[in-house]
Amino acid sequence: MGEYWGKPADSMCYHTSMTKYIFDFDDVLFFNTEKFKKHMYKCFEEIGVSYDTVKKYYAIEKEKGWVLHNLVASVLIGENITSTSKEELSEKIMRECKNFVNNELIEQIKKLEIRNCYMVTHGIKEYQLEKVERTGLGPLFAQIFTVLDIKKGPVEMICEQFKDDEVVFIDDKEKRFADLDFKKYPNLRKVLYVGPESIAEIFQ
């Protein structure tokens, strides 16, 4: 099912009918592809490593489970870069995370009660949670789940827990909805996030 970080939701203790929201992190709450990775490649280029070269290392690291710190180490060693350390370059990249959040969506989330908000993110637990921590978004969510494969476990667990409530699951990848049992959980509604135009659909 995956692991979670954070305190149990208050609504585990008492229950009132209220919509629950489950948000993906990368490319929904956090502009991972559009902004963070572009920033990452720029930082590598500044130490003399081209985009194409980094992409080759990235492809290898992605097979193992994508973690920035491992990519940085592989590039520095493989390209014999000594002008910076793994720690320095990783920090230079990661410290900008707070500048790549989806402010338009987050402003709407801030209007919700924390106990109604969940996050389910795909990737290596430590790396995903570091990105979440760097953005400062963690306190907006009752629970944060990390998964290495499908999101079915935590999503359907929340649907089961709040059978009388609508549960809205927001993700930018259609494949994340494919294995969900919408017949068993008629309270579940999916929203494919494609950009700011999706925000109204989330909160309709």
pLDDT tens-digit series, residues 121-173: 999 999 999 999 999 999 999 999 999 999 999 999 999 999 999 999 999 99
* pLDDT at residue 98 greater than cutoff 90: yes
Which residues make Cβ contacts (< 8 Å) with residue 78, sequence separation at least 6? 57
Per mean pLDDT, which range of 6-10, 11-15, 29-33, 166-170 is the poorest?
Answer: 11-15
The pLDDT score that the predictor gives to residue 119 is 99
Q: Does domain 3-30+101-202 have CATH number 3.90.1010.10?
A: no
- The H or E element that residue 59 is part of is helix 51-64
Indicate the domain borders of the chain. 3-30+101-202, 32-97
Give CA–CA dist 151/179, Å, rounded: 9
Query: pTM of this prediction?
Result: 0.89
* pLDDT at residue 12 greater than cutoff 80: no
pLDDT tier at 65 (50, 70, 90 boundaries)? Answer: confident
| Sheet of strand 3-5, all strands in order from the earlier edge strand to the far edge | 3-5, 143-147, 117-122, 20-23, 167-171, 188-192
The pLDDT score that the predictor gives to residue 17 is 58
Percentage above 70 pLDDT, the chain? 92
pLDDT tier at 64 (50, 70, 90 boundaries)? Answer: confident
